[in-house]
Amino acid sequence: MSTEAFPLHWPEGRSRTVSWKRERAKFDVTFARARDNIVAEIGRLAGRYPDPAIVLSTNIALRRDGLPLANQRAPEDPGVAVYFLYKKRQVVFACDRWEKVEHNMQAIAKTVEALRGIARWGTGDMLEAAFTGFAALPAPAPEAWRKVFGADVKNRAQLQEAFRQLALIHHPDRGGDPSKMAEINAAREQALRELP
């Protein structure tokens, strides 16, 4: 994996929570416990598959084994991105909804725990469909969004209309392809950074 553990390597195409919209979580967990919970839950999810090659990316300095150190001053950006291999495919979970790094880590651990429940009680195809949205997509090439939305998109209003039209066709809730929808979302994020 070419993902950076420090500083935070946020996945391309994923939106961020603005700082003033972050919330206080009700998790009662220390940084070290949340870190260990993520590693344990991903290990359980991986099961019989080989090493999931976990990369826990935050704005917290790292220990010698590559995991974040506990007992550091809280960073300004509490975002967390966890990259790992699931059935030989790189996936990523990212969370910055909560005000503290350890709470974002615990939210990811709980999400992985819930997905393990789907694997246990649901069907295998449900879990595979869920993981499609967590694929660690490569960064789109500059101007790649124009290939998705067309060269005639010149402002955010036109982008929004083009996005809406494509979402009506490709959204998984409407029977569309999740990977195509992920590509459309990544292109939209790129276009929003460039358009007035």
* Same domain? 176 vs 105: no
* Same domain? 155 vs 123: no
Q: Is the pLDDT of residue 28 over 50?
A: yes
* Same domain? 93 vs 169: no
User: 20 or 2: which carries more pLDDT confidence?
Assistant: 20
Q: Is the pLDDT of residue 115 over 90?
A: no
> How far is 172 from 181, CA to CA, in rounded Å?
7
* Same domain? 170 vs 75: no
What is the three-class DSSP state of 92? Answer: strand
Number of domains present in the structure of the chain: 2
* Same domain? 104 vs 33: yes
* Same domain? 35 vs 124: yes
Start-to-end C-alpha separation, the chain: 35
**pLDDT number for residue 1:** 42
Cα atoms found within 13 Å of the Cα of residue 15, Cβ hemisphere only: 11
Residue 6, domain member (yes or no): no
Q: Which of 37-51, 73-87, 130-144, 157-171 has the lowest mean pLDDT?
A: 130-144
